[in-house]
Structure 1
Amino acid sequence: MTSYPDLKLYIGGEWRDTENHLPVVNPATEEEIGRLPHAEIADLDDALAAAEDGFRIWRNTAPRDRANVMLKAAALLRERQEEIARSITAEHGKPLTQARLEVIRGSEFIEWDAGEAVRTYGRVIPSAPGVRYVVHHQPIGVVLGLSPWNFPMSQPCRKIAGALATGCSIILKAAEETPAGALHIVRAFHDAGLPPGVLNLVFGTPATISDHLIRQDPVRLVAFTGSTAVGRHLTTLASENMTRVLMELGGHAPVIVCEDTDVERAAITSAVRKYRNAGQVCTSPTRFFVHDSIFDQYAENFVKRAAATTVGNGMEAGIEMGPLANERRVPALSDLVEDARAKGAEVRTGGGRIGNKGYFFEPTVLVNVPDDARVMQEEPFGPLAVINPVSSLDEAIAKANSTPFGLAAYGFTNRADYIDRMTDEIEAGNVSFNTLEASLPETPFGGVKSSGYGREGGIEGLDNYMIVKNISHSMQIV
C-alpha cells in the first residue's frame, strides 16, 4: 500500500512541524501509523495573521480565477484518489471502496461550489425616480472550520469549498484522529496554486484551538460539524464576539416504514445503509418505526442482512464494514446495548465487541425497545439499529419527532398522501422517501432543533460565508 503521509501543519503557504506530536492509530490493528504535529498558541497566531493576509488577496481575486484554482485542486484529488483513499482507510478503518467514494464526493463538493463562485449575484431594487438600491454579497472574512473524524476528506472539503468560492480565507482544524484526508486536500490546493494564507491547516488540543481562535476579531464565521454538546459550547463562545456560526450537529435519524411498501427491499436497503461507515454518520438511519402488519417480515429480513455483513480490516477485499474509528466508541455502544437489554429490549443480532484487537463491533439490531431506553434519545453513532412496531402513521410521526434532533429522516411508502403528511409533519432538515440518500453537493444540507442551523451545499450553502450589503444612492443630494 501507499505509505501513510508525513503529517504537517500548513500555515501561510508553508508546511510546518512542531516539537510536540500526537499519535495516529490504525483502528483495525491498534498500531501507530503516524505522528501529528501539535499546534501551540504561537502557531495559531501565525495562522491567523496568514489568514488575514490571504483574505486581502483572495477577496480581490476574480470569481472566475477562484473557480479555476478550485477546479484544478479537485482534479488533482481525483487523480490521487487511490493514495488518498488508502490513507483514509488506514486512519479511519472504513472499507477501501467507501474511502474511494469519499474522495470523489469531496471533489464534487469543491466542483459544485467552484461553479457557484461566479454566481453570487446581487440585485437592483426599484425605487423612486433618481434613487437606486443595490444589494451586494461580499465575503464575510476569515473562517474557522472545524471538521469531524467520521469523514476525514469530504467534511473538510465542504468547509474549504464554501469559504474559497465566496472569497474568504480559512483556518481549518481537522480531526486529530483522522488528519490525512485534510492534509491531502491542502496539498492539492497548494499544488493548484492557491495563494499563501488563503487556506491554513492546524491540529492540536481542540478546546485550546477553538477557545483561542473564536475569540479573535478577524474570525468572522465558525463552521463546525460535530456533536450537539460541543456545538452549543462553540456557539456560546462565538456569541460573546457576535461571531456568526454554521452548525451541523448530531442526528438520530428515524425511518418510517409504511404498510404499503416492498417490505423485503426496504429492509435490505435499510440494513446495507445502516452499517455503511460502521454507522458513524450523522444521517445514519437508526430508529426504524415499522407498521405492525409488516413488522415481523421487515425485522426478519433486516436482521438476516445485518448478520451477513462482512466485518474486517478495510484494506481487505470484500469487507463491508470496518472497525469503529476510535476506542472510546466500543464501551459507548456496549453501554447503550446493555441499558436497552436491561429495560426489556431484545437483541436480535450482535451486541458486542468482535475479538480483542482492533475496535470492531458487531452489526447490532435491537427490537421492541422501550421509550425509556437511552438509545431512543441518544445517538448511538455506530452499527446499532432499533426496530419498533407502530400501529399508524400518526404514531410513527410522533415517535420520529420525539427526540431533540432533526437532521435527517426517511420514509418508505408508495402513497402520495403519506408522503405529503411526512413532508409536512416530520421535524428534520432533510427528508428522503424510498431512498436513504440524505444529500448531494447541489442540495442544501443541515438540521433543525438541536441538530444545528445554517446549510451546507446547494445555492444556499454559500450564504453563510457572505455578508449582505445594501447600497443606496441618489442622483441628487437630498
Structure 2
Amino acid sequence: MIIDGERVTGGGRRTHAVVNPATGETLAELPLAEAADLDRALETAQRGFKLWRNSTPQQRAAVLQGAAKLMLERQEDLARIATMEQGKTLPEARIEVLMNVGLFNFYAGEVFRLYGRALVRPEGMRSTVTHEPVGPVAAFAPWNFPLGNPGRKLGAPIAAGCSVILKAAEETPASALGVLQCLLDAGLPKEVAQAVFGVPDEVSRHLLGSPIIRKLSFTGSTMVGKHLAKLAAEDMKRTTMELGGHGPVLVFGDSDLDRVLDTVVPHKYRNAGQVCVSPTRFIVEESVYDRFRSGFAERAKAVTVGNGLEEGIRMGPMANPRRPEAMDRLIGDAVAKGATLHTGGERIGNAGYFYAPSVLSDIPLDALIMNEEPFGPVALINRYVGEEAMIAEANRLPYGLAAYAWTSDGKRQQRLAREIEAGMVGINTTMIGGADAPFGGVRWSGHGSEDGPEGVLACMVTKAVHEG
C-alpha cells in the first residue's frame, strides 16, 4: 500500500497471494489493510484535500504532464507487470499505458477549462456559477484493465483538485501502484493520493462509512455497484458508477461482412473477452446470418492463445480461476438449452487459466448467458428478421453500456444512434473511447462519465453565488 507517501508492507497484516494467471504461480504476497490503515488513509486524504483544492491549474497540469512523461518512459516495465498480474498480451498492456498517457495529457489541458459563468442581473447585483472540487474521493478499480482503470480513477480527481484513496484490485496491485508512483514522482504531494488494498467489503464499508469521503467512483459489476451505491446513499455521497454490460452488435445485410468480421473478432477476444464494452450478443440479419456465423467461427479458431509475454500470442489466459469456471457454467447451460457450440467451450492445458475462444449460435433467450454478462471469450450469434426486431433485442436487457451496429444505410445509422439505449454507440466501428470522449452507461450499466471534460466535472460540485 502507499499511505501518506509511505510504502506499507508486512507488519503482521493479513496477505493476499498475487498469482500469475498464465502459470498459476504466486508472484508475491500483498498486505491487506487493517482498520488503522484505512483511518490513516482517510486522515491523510482529508489533509490532502485542504492542500490540493488550493493548487493552481499550472500545478495540477505539471503533475499530470509529468506523470504522463514518466509512464511513457516506464512503458515496458509497466506493461510487463500488467501482463504478469492480469494475463493480457504484452501489446495490449503497452496500449493501456498509452491510454493513460493520453488521458493525463488531456486532463492537464482540461484543468484550464473548468469554466464557470456570470448571469445577467439588474444593476447592483452579481450572480456567478462556479465549479469546485467535491472533496476526498474513494475510487474502486477492477482487475481487467490494471493500468487504465487506476489511471482513470486517479487522473480525474487530481485534475479537479480533489484528494483520492484508490482501492484497486488485489489481483493486480503492482500495476496500480506503478501508476500512482508516476504521479508521486512527478511532484504530486504525498497527501493527495493513497492506495490501499484489503478485503473488499471491509474496505468499502469503512471508507464509505466515513464523512471524510464525499464521492464514490466505482468500476465493476452491477451487483457490487448497487451494493456500494446503497452504502454511499447513507451519507448522500456523489457517485460515478461504471457497471456491467452485455454489448449488442447489430449486423445488417448491407454491411461489408469481411470488414465487420475482421474488426469485431479481434475485439471480441481482446483481453480474453474480459472487457465491459466487449461486443457480445451478435444480432445478425437473417440474409447474412450463415455467412457471418461461419466466418466468425473460422476466425475464432485461428486465434493463438498462450502466455501474454510471448511473441505472436493474440489472447492470454483469463485473469483468475473464477472466470474459466464461469465460462463452463454459462456455456454448458446454453448448450443444454439447445444452443450450438461451434468452437471452444473448454479449458486449454493444465497450468494457468486458459480458455479456448468460443462461439455459440441459436441460443435461446432464456439461457443464462443471454442475460448475464459472460465477461469472457465467447461470442453469442443469433439470427433476426428486420430492423425493428434487431433493435428490440439490443434493448431487451437492462444493461446499456456499449452497443455496436454495422450498416451502410445512412438513414438507418441515424435511427440506430437515436433508438439504441446505451451510453456509447459505435456505428461501423468498435472504437468508442478516447481521452476527450465521455465513457459511461445508462440503466443497470451505471451513471455518470469518466474521461473527457465530463470526467473532471464528475469530481466537482456546482455553486451559485448571488450578491446584492
What's the offset of the Cα at 1:397? 0.4
Match among 118, 134, 140 for residue 124 of structure 1: 118
Provide the C-alpha distance between the structure 1 equivalents of 2:9 and 2:261, rounded to a whole number of angstroms.
49
Query: Which residue of structure 2 aligns with residue 14 of structure 1?
Result: 6
Provide the C-alpha distance between the structure 2 equivalents of 1:234 and 1:63, rounded to a whole number of angstroms.
32
The alignment status of 1:282 with 2:276, answered yes or no, reads: yes
Q: In the alignment, residue 311 of structure 1 is paired with which amino acid? A: V
CA deviations 1:261-304 (Å, max 9, x no partner) are: 00122122111110000000000000001111011111111111
CA deviations 1:130-181 (Å, max 9, x no partner) are: 1110011110000000000000000111111100001000000000001111
What's the offset of the Cα at 1:63? 1.1
The alignment status of 1:64 with 2:58, answered yes or no, reads: yes
Query: Which residue of structure 1 aligns with residue 151 of structure 2?
Result: 157
Provide the C-alpha distance between the structure 1 equivalents of 2:100 and 2:377, rounded to a whole number of angstroms.
23
Q: In the alignment, residue 242 of structure 2 is paired with which amino acid? A: E
Provide the C-alpha distance between the structure 2 equivalents of 1:13 and 1:342, rounded to a whole number of angstroms.
54
Pairs aligned (count) = 466
Unaligned runs of 5+ in 2: none
Query: Which residue of structure 2 aligns with residue 207 of structure 1?
Result: 201
The alignment status of 1:196 with 2:190, answered yes or no, reads: yes
TM-score normalized with structure 1 length: 0.97
Q: In the alignment, residue 470 of structure 1 is paired with which amino acid? A: A
Provide the C-alpha distance between the structure 1 equivalents of 2:102 and 2:180, rounded to a whole number of angstroms.
16
What's the offset of the Cα at 1:37? 1.3
Query: Which residue of structure 2 aligns with residue 253 of structure 1?
Result: 247
The alignment status of 1:396 with 2:396, answered yes or no, reads: no
Match among 352, 355, 366 for residue 349 of structure 2: 355
Q: In the alignment, residue 328 of structure 1 is paired with which amino acid? A: R
Query: Which residue of structure 1 aligns with residue 412 of structure 2?
Result: 418
Query: Which residue of structure 1 aligns with residue 222 of structure 2?
Result: 228
TM-score normalized with structure 2 length: 0.99
Q: In the alignment, residue 187 of structure 2 is paired with which amino acid? A: G
Provide the C-alpha distance between the structure 2 equivalents of 1:385 and 1:152, rounded to a whole number of angstroms.
24
SS state of the match for residue 230, structure 2?
A: helix
Provide the C-alpha distance between the structure 1 equivalents of 2:443 and 2:180, rounded to a whole number of angstroms.
33
Q: In the alignment, residue 355 of structure 1 is paired with which amino acid? A: G
Query: Which residue of structure 2 aligns with residue 94 of structure 1?
Result: 88
SS state of the match for residue 29, structure 2?
A: strand
SS state of the match for residue 458, structure 2?
A: helix
Provide the C-alpha distance between the structure 1 equivalents of 2:382 and 2:252, rounded to a whole number of angstroms.
13
The alignment status of 1:378 with 2:367, answered yes or no, reads: no
What's the offset of the Cα at 1:457? 1.1
Cα root mean square deviation, aligned: 0.8
Q: In the alignment, residue 69 of structure 1 is paired with which amino acid? A: V
Query: Which residue of structure 1 aligns with residue 467 of structure 2?
Result: 473
Provide the C-alpha distance between the structure 2 equivalents of 1:445 and 1:93, rounded to a whole number of angstroms.
24
Match among 340, 358, 361 for residue 334 of structure 2: 340
SS state of the match for residue 420, structure 1?
A: helix
What's the offset of the Cα at 1:118? 1.4
Q: Which runs of at least 4 in structure 1 moved beyond 4 Å after TM superposition? A: none
Q: In the alignment, residue 17 of structure 1 is paired with which amino acid? A: T
Would the aligned equivalents of 1:96 and 1:315 in 2 still touch at CA under 8 Å? yes
Provide the C-alpha distance between the structure 2 equivalents of 1:433 and 1:241, rounded to a whole number of angstroms.
40
Provide the C-alpha distance between the structure 1 equivalents of 2:201 and 2:369, rounded to a whole number of angstroms.
27
Provide the C-alpha distance between the structure 1 equivalents of 2:245 and 2:308, rounded to a whole number of angstroms.
25
Provide the C-alpha distance between the structure 2 equivalents of 1:331 and 1:16, rounded to a whole number of angstroms.
34
SS state of the match for residue 313, structure 2?
A: coil
Match among 296, 299, 313 for residue 293 of structure 2: 299
Would the aligned equivalents of 1:226 and 1:250 in 2 still touch at CA under 8 Å? yes
Would the aligned equivalents of 1:51 and 1:200 in 2 still touch at CA under 8 Å? yes
Provide the C-alpha distance between the structure 1 equivalents of 2:309 and 2:429, rounded to a whole number of angstroms.
28
Q: In the alignment, residue 235 of structure 1 is paired with which amino acid? A: A
What's the offset of the Cα at 1:438? 2.0
CA deviations 1:9-49 (Å, max 9, x no partner) are: 11112211132221100000000011111110000000001
Provide the C-alpha distance between the structure 1 equivalents of 2:130 and 2:321, rounded to a whole number of angstroms.
48
SS state of the match for residue 150, structure 1?
A: coil
Provide the C-alpha distance between the structure 2 equivalents of 1:13 and 1:95, rounded to a whole number of angstroms.
31
The alignment status of 1:268 with 2:269, answered yes or no, reads: no
What's the offset of the Cα at 1:110? 1.4
Would the aligned equivalents of 1:114 and 1:161 in 2 still touch at CA under 8 Å? no
Provide the C-alpha distance between the structure 2 equivalents of 1:361 and 1:303, rounded to a whole number of angstroms.
15
Aligned pairs for 1:3-82 within 5 A: 9-18=1-10, 19-20=12-13, 21-82=15-76
CA deviations 1:315-335 (Å, max 9, x no partner) are: 110000000000011111111
Aligned pairs for 1:426-465 within 5 A: 426-465=420-459
SS state of the match for residue 228, structure 2?
A: helix
Query: Which residue of structure 2 aligns with residue 310 of structure 1?
Result: 304
Q: In the alignment, residue 294 of structure 1 is paired with which amino acid? A: V
SS state of the match for residue 425, structure 2?
A: strand
Provide the C-alpha distance between the structure 2 equivalents of 1:452 and 1:221, rounded to a whole number of angstroms.
15
The alignment status of 1:136 with 2:130, answered yes or no, reads: yes
Shifted more, 262-271 versus 205-214: the winner is 262-271
Provide the C-alpha distance between the structure 2 equivalents of 1:402 and 1:430, rounded to a whole number of angstroms.
16
CA deviations 1:450-475 (Å, max 9, x no partner) are: 0000011111111210011101112x
Provide the C-alpha distance between the structure 2 equivalents of 1:89 and 1:388, rounded to a whole number of angstroms.
33
The alignment status of 1:242 with 2:260, answered yes or no, reads: no
